[in-house]
Amino acid sequence: MAGDVALVVSELATNSVMHGAVRGRLFRVHLTLTEFVLRVAVSDPRGERLPRLGRPGDDECFGRGLLIVAQLADRWGVEQRDIGKTVFAELSVR
C-alpha cells in the first residue's frame, strides 16, 4: 500500500504545483489514517481551477495524473475552501 500512497501523494502534489500555484503561496499535503481509510489531501490557493479527469492522446506527455489517482484510490474528490481547494483521495486500509 505504501507505493500506491506515495504515487497518489506525488500526483496530487504535482497537480497542485502545476495548476494550483500562486506566487508566494504554498500548498499543503495532509495525511489522515483511521482504522479503515488512509486519506491524502492536498490543498492549494487556486479554488477556481478545479481538477477533472483528462483524456490525453497516446502522444501527450501530461494529463494522466488524476486517471492514476482514480485507479488507485477507492474515492477521490474536491472540497472548496474559503481560499482555494482541497483535492483528496481515500484508500481503504485492508
Q: Cell numbers of 91, please?
A: 484508500
Choose among 45, 48, 38, 51: nearest CA to 9. 38
Per residue in 46-78, pLDDT tens? 999 888 887 877 788 777 889 999 999 999 999
Hey, CA dihedral for 51, 53, 56, 61, is it positive or negative?
Answer: positive
User: What pLDDT, on the 0 to 100 scale, is given for residue 53?
Assistant: 81
Report residue 27's pLDDT band, with 50, 70 and 90 as the boundaries: very high
Q: Can you give the pTM of this predicted structure?
A: 0.90
Domains and their CATH numbers in the chain: 2-92 (3.30.565.10)
Given a cut of 80, whether residue 29 has pLDDT beyond it is yes
